[in-house]
Structure 1
């Protein structure tokens, strides 16, 4: 019977080790999946371009057309407007910004679809007349942006 006691001890240690390993591997797998999914969704799943930018000099309205080229649906845009001496960020919660079609977290811009970001620049008429760069940023993926220096001014 003395030989049976070390065998039981080894079996108990083996069972405890396997249980701890299974618990840790489940947690580690979940953690890596969550972190890698977060990075890939933002880094590889968001891609958009500016198709056109027009500033209406009569209504002081800027129209920026963007197209979602990435596989992920997106929302949460902001626009940085720049000239030689001034820069301003207008985000999606501002009364100055609207979208056509309307987008939100519940109704994001789908892959391959386009929309207009419409900016009311009343009070910033001088900026509108001298705009030389537009940068569209995304509040969810701060490293992803699109920019243009091709701004058509229309009457």
Structure 2
């Protein structure tokens, strides 16, 4: 039996709301993530949060730290721990590139969004540099100016 469109659209993605505001994203990578079954089911319900998460390299492997995936409400004794450290799956050349970028200093690895690609959960991570206060103010001013321009164009129509 085929799934209805409503079921297919119940979960689209989990976004990191703070990433665009607090960081300049220099490079992006799509990584797989090692999850347990109850974690996948909780993510399908949209019960995940990656706002405070970050990536860390340990012994040549990439780990997602501080990502919160709620316990699956129908899970039993095999339910997962909500804030456990999860392994990100990338190819060796990508890991080397990330390692070089993080060793330069002033950069961090931030998850930008978590989404399903067919049946697999993927995490888009970015090598980011923190914005200064004046950068944030400039972005806010530009956003206000753009909003006013859009309103003026809409009013002329």
TM-score normalised by the chain length of structure 1 = 0.28
Instruction: Name the one with the larger helix percent.
Output: 2
TM-score, with length taken from structure 2: 0.28
